[in-house]
């Protein structure tokens, strides 16, 4: 028996125990896709087969895989100090990372609250918004406005402001009260195959005025949106839409939260989508590429005025919220090493430089069977198919499986394939992803 066979047999035995997240467990376990190694632009599966990473893992590994700078920083830190308590105690790396993030962030967002995931960043941002209004003498501002098709993780706060039906329905009686939703901005009929931001649709932001009239500005804490929806299938904001949201929230004293768990750290061609589109929110949630996915970590970037308002009460704990692993020293070391790579290798600029090539490559798939839309910005793009008569999601999943069988990792959500490669990708690798996709699409009913 070879080593690989041996390995596969022991895998088959152990598959039963792990309940996999957001996964069709029975389907997966019948035909597992197991990754074992990663370097540069490639994964290797357990049989040693190379898989080109078209998704930066799960929108995480923007600096590519196997970066020595990160593993060395992690190894050094874990030896020096593996863990430090985060309540009423500090350690230098968390402060250094907070300062570094404040320097990169849009103007005014100079305070940082650390979490361990995107979901925790979202729930933290929602709590901070409520805390701010209470400290600011407006305790009735507790409602939130999210958006249809929004994805804000899986905490009860996140699914309540989120707008993906499948994630909410099973928990519908337990969702936060006092949440309403803006309409989504996807308009395939009007904007199919737009390159970059659609020119029409900004008026969808004006629905916020209706929601304010309905609920009363004095009851609304914050509006939360992804500047570009990632998980729902790369839905770009129409030109002028985010600016309009900013104007309306500002007019009514409502905080604006941009959930940049996917868009931050170069994905759309700037450190933050907020900078690319010139609209500054009051809070930004991040995670994933913050430390290249190396160690779970998230961060909320917060406007000074929010922090300052919360610091006004009597001396004592100002925010009754936090995590055992907030600002974890090893995760922080990984993040500092990652931010150095982004800067030294000019990866955010690279995302912008390759945007045109990536865009042309993605849109070359336009005339293939069942393709109804292609969307892109920076180094992120999506191809949407019409659903097959075997049900919603079947066609998308078939394309994903074919790409994986042919050595490329893409991401399927319903009948949409999203591509979000590490920002170190080169033109030849972009071609390889698109050629594999083209073959998979042609082979799929």
Min separation Cβ 147 and ligand PLP, Å: 11
Q: Among residues 122 and 248, whose Cβ is nearest to ligand PLP?
A: 122
Tell me the three state secondary structure of residue 242. Answer: helix
Q: In what order do the strands lie in the sheet with 143-147?
A: 111-115, 298-302, 283-286, 255-259, 220-225, 143-147, 179-182
Which residues ranging from 361 to 390 are in contact with ligand PLP (CB under 6 A)?
none
Decide the pairing of beta strands 179-182 and 143-147. parallel
Q: For every residue of 56-119, which 3-state class applies, written as one string?
A: HHHHCCCCCECCHHHHHHHHHHHHHCCCCCCCCCCCHHHHHHHHHHHHHCCCCCCEEEEECCHH
Which residues ranging from 125 to 164 are in contact with ligand PLP (CB under 6 A)?
151-153
Q: Which of 261, 354, 410, 424 binds ligand PLP (CB under 6 A)?
A: 261
How many C-beta neighbours within 10 Å does residue 103 have? 10
Q: Which of 163, 201, 230, 422 binds ligand PLP (CB under 6 A)?
A: 230
Q: Enumerate helices (H) and strands (E) in the chain, giving the number of each.
A: 18, 15
How many C-beta neighbours within 10 Å does residue 131 have? 18
> Should residue 420 be labelled a site residue for ligand PLP when binding is judged by CB under 6 A?
no
Residue in 231, 236, 241 with CA at minimum distance from that of residue 373: 236
How many whole angstroms separate alpha carbon 352 and alpha carbon 268?
A: 7
Q: Which of 119, 124, 142, 326 binds ligand PLP (CB under 6 A)?
A: 119
Min separation Cβ 49 and ligand PLP, Å: 26
**Options 45-53, 70-78, 255-263, 397-405: segment touching ligand PLP (CB under 6 A):** 255-263
Q: Which of 53, 123, 180, 226 binds ligand PLP (CB under 6 A)?
A: 226
Binding mask 169-208 for ligand PLP (x = CB under 6 A): ----------------------------------------
Q: Among residues 97 and 261, whose Cβ is nearest to ligand PLP?
A: 261
How many whole angstroms separate alpha carbon 172 and alpha carbon 235?
A: 25
**Options 111-119, 168-176, 391-399, 416-424: segment touching ligand PLP (CB under 6 A):** 111-119
Q: Which of 86, 231, 275, 420 binds ligand PLP (CB under 6 A)?
A: 231
Min separation Cβ 409 and ligand PLP, Å: 16
Min separation Cβ 287 and ligand PLP, Å: 5
Q: Among residues 22 and 95, whose Cβ is nearest to ligand PLP?
A: 22
How many whole angstroms separate alpha carbon 182 and alpha carbon 257?
A: 14
Q: Among residues 159 and 424, whose Cβ is nearest to ligand PLP?
A: 159
> Should residue 293 be labelled a site residue for ligand PLP when binding is judged by CB under 6 A?
no
Q: Which of 94, 109, 271, 287 binds ligand PLP (CB under 6 A)?
A: 287
Binding mask 390-409 for ligand PLP (x = CB under 6 A): --------------------
Q: Among residues 117 and 274, whose Cβ is nearest to ligand PLP?
A: 117
Q: Among residues 396 and 434, whose Cβ is nearest to ligand PLP?
A: 396
How many whole angstroms separate alpha carbon 80 and alpha carbon 84?
A: 11
Q: Which of 118, 157, 266, 329 binds ligand PLP (CB under 6 A)?
A: 118
Residue in 132, 102, 101 with CA at minimum distance from that of residue 255: 132
Q: Tell me the Ramachandran region of residue 201: left when phi exceeds 0, alpha when psi lies from -120 to 50, beta otherwise.
A: left
Q: Among residues 262 and 289, whose Cβ is nearest to ligand PLP?
A: 262
Min separation Cβ 106 and ligand PLP, Å: 17
How many whole angstroms separate alpha carbon 85 and alpha carbon 302?
A: 23
Min separation Cβ 285 and ligand PLP, Å: 6
Contact 311, 318 (CB under 8 A): yes
The 8-class DSSP code of residue 230 comes to: -
Contact 326, 114 (CB under 8 A): yes
Q: How many residues make contact with ligand PLP (CB under 6 A)?
A: 14
Q: What are the b/e assignments for 348-384, b being 16+ CB within 10 Å? A: bebbbebbeebbebbbebeebebbbbbbbbbbbbbbb
> Should residue 122 be labelled a site residue for ligand PLP when binding is judged by CB under 6 A?
yes
Q: Which of 77, 105, 117, 280 binds ligand PLP (CB under 6 A)?
A: 117
Which spans of this chain sit near ligand PLP (rule: CB under 6 A)? 117-119, 122, 151-153, 226, 230-231, 259, 261-262, 287
């Amino acid at each position: 028996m070879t080593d690989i066979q041996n390995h596969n047999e022991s895998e088959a035995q152990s598959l039963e125990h792990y309940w996999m997240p957001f996964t069709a467990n029975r389907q997966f376990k019948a035909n597992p896709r197991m990754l074992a190694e990663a370097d540069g632009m490639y994964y290797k599966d357990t049989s040693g087969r190379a898989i080109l990473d078209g998704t930066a893992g799960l929108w995480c590994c923007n600096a590519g895989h196997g970066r020595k700078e990160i593993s060395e920083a992690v190894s050094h830190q874990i030896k020096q100090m593996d863990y430090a308590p985060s309540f009423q105690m500090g350690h230098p790396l968390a402060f250094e990372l907070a300062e570094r993030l404040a320097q990169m962030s849009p103007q005014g967002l100079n305070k940082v609250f650390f979490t361990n995931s995107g979901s925790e960043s979202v729930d933290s941002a929602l709590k901070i918004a409520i805390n701010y209004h209470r400290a600011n003498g407006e305790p009735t501002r507790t409602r939130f406005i999210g958006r249809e098709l929004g994805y804000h993780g899986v905490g009860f706060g996140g699914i309540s402001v989120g707008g993906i039906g499948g994630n909410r329905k099973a928990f519908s009686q337990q969702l936060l009260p006092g949440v309403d939703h803006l309409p989504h901005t996807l308009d395939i009929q009007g904007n199919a195959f737009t390159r970059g931001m659609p020119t029409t649709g900004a008026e969808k932001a004006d629905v916020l005025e209706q929601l304010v009239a309905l609920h009363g500005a004095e009851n609304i804490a914050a509006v939360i949106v992804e500047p570009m929806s990632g998980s729902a299938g790369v839905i770009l904001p129409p030109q002028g839409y985010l600016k309009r949201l900013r104007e309306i929230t500002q007019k009514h004293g409502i905080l604006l939260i941009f959930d940049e768990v996917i868009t931050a750290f170069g994905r759309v061609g700037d450190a933050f989508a907020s900078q690319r589109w010139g609209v500054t929110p009051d809070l930004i949630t991040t995670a994933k590429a913050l430390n290249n996915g190396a160690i779970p970590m998230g961060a909320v970037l917060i406007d000074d005025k929010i922090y300052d308002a919360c610091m006004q009460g009597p001396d004592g704990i100002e925010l009754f919220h936090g995590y055992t692993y907030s600002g974890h020293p090893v995760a922080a070391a990984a993040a500092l090493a990652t931010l150095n790579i982004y800067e030294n290798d000019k990866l955010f600029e690279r995302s912008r430089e390759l945007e045109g090539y990536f865009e042309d490559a993605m849109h070359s798939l336009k005339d293939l069977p069942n393709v109804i839309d292609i969307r892109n910005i920076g180094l992120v793009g999506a191809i949407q198919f019409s659903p097959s008569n075997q049900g919603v999601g079947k066609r998308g999943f078939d394309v994903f499986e074919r790409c994986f069988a042919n050595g490329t990792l893409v991401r399927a959500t319903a009948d949409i394939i999203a591509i979000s490669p590490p920002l170190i990708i080169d033109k030849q690798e972009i071609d390889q992803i698109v050629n594999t996709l083209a073959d998979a699409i042609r082979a799929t009913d």
